[in-house]
Amino acid sequence: MTGNKTLIALRELLDIMTTLRSDHGCRWDRQQTPESLKPYLLEECYELLEAIDRAQPQEICDELGDLLLQVVFQAQIFSEQGLFSMADVAASISRKLIRRHPHIFARADAEGHEQRWEEIKLRERQERGLPLSLAERIPKTLPALKRAQKIAKRIDSIDSYKLIPKIELKLNQLKSLAVELPSATDQRQKILAELLFCISHLSYTLDIDAEESLRQFNVEIVTKIDANK
pTM of the predicted model, to two decimals? Answer: 0.76
Is pLDDT of 96 > 70?
yes
The reported pLDDT for the residue numbered 229 is 80
**Spatial distance between the Cα atoms of 94 and 105, rounded to a whole number of angstroms:** 12
The reported pLDDT for the residue numbered 126 is 84
Taking only the tens place, the pLDDT of each residue in 174-213 is 999 888 877 778 899 999 999 999 999 999 999 999 999 9
Taking only the tens place, the pLDDT of each residue in 20-64 is 999 999 999 999 999 999 999 999 999 999 999 999 999 999 999
DSSP letters, 53-110, are: HHT-HHHHHHHHHHHHHHHHHHHHHHHHTTS--HHHHHHHHHHHHHHT-HHHHS---S
Is pLDDT of 152 > 70?
yes
